[in-house]
Amino acid sequence: MFKIHCPECKKSFLWTDEMPLQGKCPNPDCRWQYNVHAELRKNVNPTEEEQKTKPLLCPFCQSQITSRITICPNCGHIVTGKRYFKKSWAFLYLCVLLIILSLILKYSN
Ligand SMILES: [Zn+2]
Ligand SMILES: [Zn+2]
């Protein structure tokens, strides 16, 4: 026994073992034909299919990106996982990093 949601009349009904595997929606005004096998498949792995088709999205502009660490083709932000930062910031970080490195080298000699 399990619940079938009719896409035609938007009503749910319970399918029991005594009912045929394929048949008409019990709502007399509705002509939708159910198929228990198809409904079972839908019930079993909706999350699995969702995960498969779920695209990677830029956390800033929500447009699709190709990998977790990339530059978003839409907004130009550098995306690393769920974080993002501007390209100019990355340049700034690099400058600061180079200054710190040069200072370390200077004082270590
Ligand atoms: Zn129906
Ligand atoms: Zn983006």
- Strand intervals (E) in the chain: 2-5, 12-15, 22-24, 33-35, 69-71, 78-80, 83-85
CA of 60 to the centre of ligand 2 (A): 5
Token pair belonging to 39 = 């409904």
CA of 71 to the centre of ligand 2 (A): 8
CA distances from 25 to 30, 44, 88, 90 (A): 6, 21, 60, 59
Pairs from 25-34 (Cβ < 8 Å, separation ≥ 24): 30/6, 32/6, 32/7, 32/8, 34/4, 34/6
Share of the chain above pLDDT 90, in %: 47
Share of the chain above pLDDT 70, in %: 89
CA of 9 to the centre of ligand 2 (A): 40
Minimum-distance ligand to the CA of 26? 1
How many Å separate Cα 5 from the centre of its chain? 24
CA of 90 to the centre of ligand 2 (A): 15
Each domain of the chain, given as residue ranges in start order, spans 2-53, 69-108
Is the pLDDT reported for residue 99 higher than 90?
Answer: yes
Of residues 52 and 68, more confidence is placed in 68
Minimum-distance ligand to the CA of 8? 1
Kindly state the average pLDDT of the residues 39-68: 77
Is the pLDDT reported for residue 39 higher than 80?
Answer: yes
Kindly state the average pLDDT of the residues 80-105: 86
Kindly state the average pLDDT of the residues 17-34: 93
Token pair belonging to 3 = 């619940």
CA of 94 to the centre of ligand 2 (A): 21
Residue range 55-91, pLDDT digits in tens: 889 999 999 998 888 889 999 898 888 888 887 777 7
Is the pLDDT reported for residue 50 higher than 60?
Answer: no
CA of 54 to the centre of ligand 1 (A): 30
